[in-house]
Every structure is written in C-alpha cells, then in structure tokens.
Structure 1
Amino acid sequence: MKIIKPTVITDAKLVSSSIPENDHPVWSAATAYAKGDRVILVSTHSIYQRLVAGTTAASPDVDPENWQRVGPTNRWAMFDRAVGSLSSATDTMTVTLEPGIVRALALVDVAAAEAIVTMTDGAETVYSRTVDMRDESNVIDWESYFFGDFLVRKTVMTLTDLPPYLNGQVTITLNGTGPVSIGTVAVGSIFNLGVTVHGMSLGIIDYSVKSTDSFGVTAVVERAWAKRMTAQVVLDTTRVDEVHRQLAATRATPAVWIGGDRIDQSVIYGFFKDWSIDVAYASKSYCSLTIEGLT
C-alpha cells in the first residue's frame, strides 16, 4: 500500500501548457454583463457566471451576489484537487511542471491512447516512460480476442520511481485520436505503508437515488459515484509510530492510495474513512484501512 501526497501546483510550478486559457472572456470591471454571461478570473483560474445583469467593480471571487463560480478553467481543471472536472483537448495535450523534489506521479480519469512522462534536469533527460493506455484484461480467450471490445482504455496511471531532482521539469503528454482528457494530475512524495495482504475489498459508493412508488413503479435518478477500498497492510512493528504519524497527517488532504501495483481499480484519489493499527506481534503489526474516493 502506497500513498502519493500531491504537491499543490501553482502558477510558478506550471511551466507551460498546450491548453489555452480562453474558455470565456477575461473578467473586466468596466464591462456590462447580461445574466448568464460567463467570464474567466485569471487570478484564480476559475470560471464565473453572472447572476444578474449589470456592471460591478468587485472581483467575482468576492462578489457572490452577482457572480457564481462554475468551476476551474480547462487548463487548470487537472490541478484543482477535485474529481469531476476535466482538462480536455483534441488529439494531444502537453503540460510541463517544475514541482520541486517529487518521487511519484499519478494520472486519474485519463482518456487517451498513450501517456508519456519525461523529466529533464537542465538539458539532460533523466527519466522517460511511455505507457500504453489500452486495457487488455478483458482478453481471456479466443472468443474475447476476436469479438471483445478492444477500445477499452485504462483510466489511471501511476509511476513511483521518479528521480529526486530539485529543479527537475516533469512533462506529461497525452496522445490519442479525437478527444483526450484528464481529471487529476497528482505529483509529489510517496510513502510506503507496507504490504497489502490478500483479501483487499474493492467497490463503489453509488449516490444515485432509487425510489418505488405505491404502484410499484421504480424511478432511478443517476448521480455520482465514488470508489471504495478496504484493505489490511502488514508492516514491521518498528514502523508503527512512523505509519501512525503519516496517516494522521493525511487526514484532511486528498491523496492517491495505491492498494496493489497491478490492480488499477485499487488506485483511489480520496481520503481514508477509517484506519486502525493492530500491534499483533513483536516483529509484525497490521494496519486496517477503509479508503473512499472523491466524487
């Protein structure tokens, strides 16, 4: 079980992006807006919608009576530390970050044919990985080979071996045919809790509403859902204090939890709901966790 603790990406850490920030016109205090007009507030990289017609000098982020935040701009959606907002482009997108010393990277909610990650230190390329995002786990026999769905794509990718360069620049490129998108880019430090034991439980939390009236007719209102994982980790008893501190420090920070290196569905961007450490033996202890993803 590993935890990637993301570094907050600021303007200074975003070196370049192929995605323009031109979703809507930039907000201007001198412009008269109609109800429903949308603007970009560059200082927060957010989109705001006008609630009433008129002109106001106050910035939208401090004027809730006249403006409502809709979400992040397309360029910054991948860095907003939320699930549900996507950065999208056609055929390809490239972003370059200078996040400081980092050891791991996770891409969540990806729609692309391949992902390329490189790190440079000055003019030298110190790391390069190309990942094919095709998911061939559904090909289990000749029938599924000839008649199965070969358009299934992996939606997550994790790299846990980035070299620690203080001034290293990380470039992420997504390639595909047609629309490509990504929900979350998490780059930061990594902490190894221990070895996930057999019996890990994976599922989802469905927030859809199903109601049945007095005539037996069931109506379904589809809503968001989130991943859920319950797992037990074995660790050396000498590491109990260290693991306890790390988990306590992660209580209010969205992180990427990796339950198993070969199971994509065990990669969850979210919080722990509960955890406890059983100091079972002099040499080995057990940590039980329940992880819930963001919706």
Structure 2
Amino acid sequence: MEHQRDARSTHNMKVLTPITITPAVYNFAVAPFQLGDYAEWSAATAYVAGNRVCINAQRRQYQCLVANTNFSPVTNPDKWVDIGATLPWRPFDGFLSSTLTSITYGSVISDPLLKNPGSLYDLRLDFYAFPFWALGSFDAIAVMNTTAAWVRVVYYNRTGAVTYDKKIYSVDTSVVIDASSYCFNDQATRRDFIFDGIDGWGTTTGDQVHVLISNGPDGTLAAVSDVIPVAVGEIIIGEAHELGACHADAAIQLIDYSKKEIDVYGTVKIVQRAYSLNGSFEIEVPTANRPRIQNLMASLRATPCVYFPSEFDANAGVVIYGYVKDYNTTYSTPERAYASLEVEGMI
C-alpha cells in the first residue's frame, strides 16, 4: 500500500495566499476615473428606487431601494443595497463571476513612475494592463476566469531590470503536429493562468509587476472591427506555500447554480447562473511538516486562496479558487503523513 501511494504521487500541492490589493499598490491612471461605471453618489441628488451610484472612496456600487436624499449608501443599508465592486476593482473583490470586461473599462497608463509607459498600455478594447508596485514579498500570481488570447506577467526591480517575464497562451497547441491535426484536433482553451516562481520583493514604487491580458495578436494593434473584448474575473497575487506531494487522483467537481424547471407539459426552462469548482486532493507530507501545514490550513479556513498541484497542472485546468472545506491528516509512518484536502470554490 505504501508503494502504491508513492507511485501515484506527482507534483507538490501549493496554496497561493493573497495580498490585499489597495490603492497604495494598485496603480491605475484612468481618464475618466469611472469610465463605464455609475455616477458618484451626491448628497444633493434626490434618488428614487432603482437608481445606481458608486462611491469611489469605498470602491463599491450601490442601488437605491427607496426614495431618499442625503442618505449615504455606506451607512444606510435600509435605503441602499451594495451590488458589488466598482469596475476598476472587480478583479480584486473575491468573486470569479464578477468579471471586468474591456468593452466597458479600458486601461490608460500614464503615470511617469511606471516602467515601460507609452503606446504598449494605450486604451484599447482587446487589452488590459494592471500595474502594481510596493507589494512586498510575493512569488506567484493567478489570473482567473479570463477570456483572453494570452496573459503576460513582467516583474521590474527598483533598478528597472526585468527579472521575470513570462507569457502564457490560452490555446494549447501541443496537439498540433501537422496540417491535419491543426484543422481537426481539439485544442484545449484555458481560462485560468498561474505564474509561479516570480521571486518578487520590494516596498518602493520602483518595485513593479505588470499583469497584461489581451485578446489581440502579438505586438500589433487590432483593427476596431476585429476587436474581441477581453474579460477577467480575479487577479490574486501572493505567496505560494508548498503543502506536499499531490497524488494523481485529484478530483474537480463542477457545481452549477442554474435554475431548471419543468412544467406540467414537460417543457424545460433553464435560467443560466454562475457555477463554481470544488476540488478534492490527496496529499503526502513529511510528518515533521504536519503541524505547520495543519496550522496553515486552519488560518486559511475563511480566506479564499488558489490551490494547485503545480504551475503546469494549474495551467492545464487543475486549479481551484476557494476556501478550505475539510482537512484531515493521518500518521502512516514516522517519515510520512497522508492528508485529504477538500476545497470549496468561489463563484
């Protein structure tokens, strides 16, 4: 039995714990600030039920429940309901389904402190640029629930040198070996991207990482008629902690929240809603590391994180953004302990 477990072991399971993204580290210069968003709430405006506003200081959107004037949405939940993050902050709100789409919000990077400013980051509907600085210590980035042709991550140290530059394409072309396979073989398309081993560190504005997401061709600006809007659900930046060797029988379960009804005549009505992915993993860890990993899992029980067996596996679709639902460990030998990890995915 011991030998069978070893034979099924593959890559080291990791968990990416997030850094909180704030205006101090997320540098965007958008003109106007709330492009595509709702108007800023005003104390002088008479609102009626159904009106929507945003409060940029809170980075939130609100909808009016009852007619009111001079009642702040932040402190009056009986008159306003929070309907989500403002557009520039949707990739950091903890929900995969609240996507930011480039048809409604474009990136215009103009801050002179940013590395590589200019035409590369000009406003366009098939491209996003997310620049960050002074993040502290981090070594991994997850870009999830995207509709993009490629995602690129570039890290600049404070001297301006590029120490990490990697681009991942959404289409897996490994099955293409000739003209026939190009035309007829199925090519997998990924929606989640993992960048591991970045070795990022720094607390100054010179320490920068840029996340670039695009549906356009490499190095050229697509004609307006050819533009395919790009969307992104969540960007998670932080440290990837190794948990142990992940066995090859990891299970991914899709949970659908769509509404399905059948009337008395047998007619089926389906209302499509969001879905989530749950994951079950068997992990083998050195017994000496068991307390550390157990404490880590306990500390993350209410924190959405990214769980993946390896960068390769994650970019092949084995990745879950969610929180710990269940974690159990047993002693098998003085050297090794075996654990089961269940992760409940975010929508």
Q: Please report the TM-score for the alignment, with normalisation by the length of structure 2.
A: 0.77
2:215 corresponds to: 176
Q: CA deviation at 1:213?
A: 5.5
Number of paired residues? Answer: 293
2:166 corresponds to: 129
1:198 corresponds to: 248
Rounded to whole Å, the distance in 1 between the matches of 2:47 and 2:150 is: 42
Q: CA deviation at 1:123?
A: 3.6
1:235 corresponds to: 285
State whether residues 47 and 73 of structure 1, in contact with CA within 8 Å, keep that contact through their aligned partners in structure 2.
Answer: yes
User: Among 13, 18, 24, which residue is 2:38 paired with?
Assistant: 24
Rounded to whole Å, the distance in 1 between the matches of 2:68 and 2:93 is: 29
Q: Secondary structure at the match of 1:40?
A: strand
Equivalent AA in structure 2 for residue 86 of structure 1: T
Pairing 1:83-94 to 2, within 5 Å after superposition: 83-89=96-102, 90-94=125-129
Inter-CA distance 159–280: structure 2 relative to 1 (3 Å threshold): same
State whether residues 112 and 153 of structure 1, in contact with CA within 8 Å, keep that contact through their aligned partners in structure 2.
Answer: no
1:185 corresponds to: 235
Q: Secondary structure at the match of 1:241?
A: helix
1:11 corresponds to: 23
User: Among 33, 43, 63, which residue is 2:76 paired with?
Assistant: 63
Rounded to whole Å, the distance in 2 between the matches of 1:53 and 1:268 is: 42
State whether residues 127 and 213 of structure 2, in contact with CA within 8 Å, keep that contact through their aligned partners in structure 1.
Answer: yes
Comparing 159-168 and 37-46, the one that deviates more? 159-168
State whether residues 47 and 68 of structure 2, in contact with CA within 8 Å, keep that contact through their aligned partners in structure 1.
Answer: yes
Rounded to whole Å, the distance in 1 between the matches of 2:16 and 2:239 is: 6
Q: Secondary structure at the match of 1:135?
A: coil
Pairing 1:1-295 to 2, within 5 Å after superposition: 1-16=13-28, 20-22=33-35, 23-56=37-70, 58-89=71-102, 90-98=125-133, 99-124=135-160, 125-136=162-173, 145-148=182-185, 153-167=189-203, 168-177=207-216, 178-212=228-262, 218-263=268-313, 264-295=316-347
Question: Deviations along 1:122-175, whole A, 9 cap, x unmatched?
Answer: 24222211222223477699755313566x632111111111312321111112
Q: CA deviation at 1:87?
A: 1.7
Q: CA deviation at 1:8?
A: 0.8
State whether residues 126 and 229 of structure 2, in contact with CA within 8 Å, keep that contact through their aligned partners in structure 1.
Answer: yes
Rounded to whole Å, the distance in 2 between the matches of 1:141 and 1:51 is: 60
Rounded to whole Å, the distance in 2 between the matches of 1:284 and 1:49 is: 54
Comparing 118-127 and 213-222, the one that deviates more? 213-222
> Runs of 5+ in structure 1 lacking a partner?
none
State whether residues 196 and 311 of structure 2, in contact with CA within 8 Å, keep that contact through their aligned partners in structure 1.
Answer: no
Q: CA deviation at 1:200?
A: 1.3
Rounded to whole Å, the distance in 2 between the matches of 1:148 and 1:34 is: 55
Q: Please report the TM-score for the alignment, with normalisation by the length of structure 1.
A: 0.90
State whether residues 202 and 265 of structure 1, in contact with CA within 8 Å, keep that contact through their aligned partners in structure 2.
Answer: no
Rounded to whole Å, the distance in 1 between the matches of 2:126 and 2:270 is: 35
Q: Secondary structure at the match of 2:91?
A: helix
Q: CA deviation at 1:207?
A: 2.6
Question: Deviations along 1:33-80, whole A, 9 cap, x unmatched?
Answer: 243222110111111122233422x32111123222221111100011
Rounded to whole Å, the distance in 2 between the matches of 1:34 and 1:269 is: 38
Inter-CA distance 140–227: structure 2 relative to 1 (3 Å threshold): farther
Inter-CA distance 64–251: structure 2 relative to 1 (3 Å threshold): same
Q: Secondary structure at the match of 2:96?
A: coil
State whether residues 100 and 233 of structure 2, in contact with CA within 8 Å, keep that contact through their aligned partners in structure 1.
Answer: yes
Equivalent AA in structure 2 for residue 29 of structure 1: A
State whether residues 17 and 94 of structure 1, in contact with CA within 8 Å, keep that contact through their aligned partners in structure 2.
Answer: no
Rounded to whole Å, the distance in 2 between the matches of 1:74 and 1:258 is: 28
Q: Secondary structure at the match of 2:289?
A: helix
- Structure in which a larger fraction of residues adopt strand: 1
Rounded to whole Å, the distance in 2 between the matches of 1:42 and 1:209 is: 34
Inter-CA distance 77–282: structure 2 relative to 1 (3 Å threshold): same
Q: CA deviation at 1:234?
A: 0.9
Q: Secondary structure at the match of 1:104?
A: strand
Comparing 172-181 and 129-138, the one that deviates more? 129-138
Rounded to whole Å, the distance in 2 between the matches of 1:31 and 1:176 is: 40
